[in-house]
């Protein structure tokens, strides 16, 4: 499946970090904090400002990003063992440089 986001939207493959407690206690799915890290897999074409100028997005395909925890609530896509989200660029908090 190929997802091409529109305008200022970004497709992110969520990085799922395994949660293990040292004490051996199992954390139920409902209690787990949503992942906030991912890799950009597709970006939209940008958006138009109020003055009519076109603005390109700041993130690029391949960027590792931190995103707003609640941004992904309704736009989650599951394919195989991967989770993808579609969010607006403004919900991306930072680009991780390693």
Q: What local confidence, expressed as pLDDT, does residue 31 receive?
A: 47
Q: What local confidence, expressed as pLDDT, does residue 51 receive?
A: 93
Q: What is the pLDDT of residues 40-93, one digit of tens each?
A: 999 999 999 899 999 999 999 999 999 987 766 667 888 888 889 999 999 999
The band of 22, judged by pLDDT with boundaries at 50, 70 and 90, is low
- Report which DSSP code applies to 32: S
């Amino acid at each position: 499946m190929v997802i091409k986001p529109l305008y200022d939207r970004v497709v992110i493959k969520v990085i799922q970090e395994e949660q293990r407690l040292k004490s051996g206690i199992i954390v139920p799915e409902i209690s787990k904090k949503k992942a906030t890290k991912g890799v950009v897999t597709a970006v939209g074409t940008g958006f138009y400002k109020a003055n009519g100028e076109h603005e390109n997005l700041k993130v690029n395909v391949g960027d590792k990003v931190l995103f707003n925890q609640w941004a992904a609530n309704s736009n989650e896509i599951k394919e195989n063992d991967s989770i993808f989200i579609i969010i607006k660029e403004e919900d991306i908090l930072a680009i991780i440089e390693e």
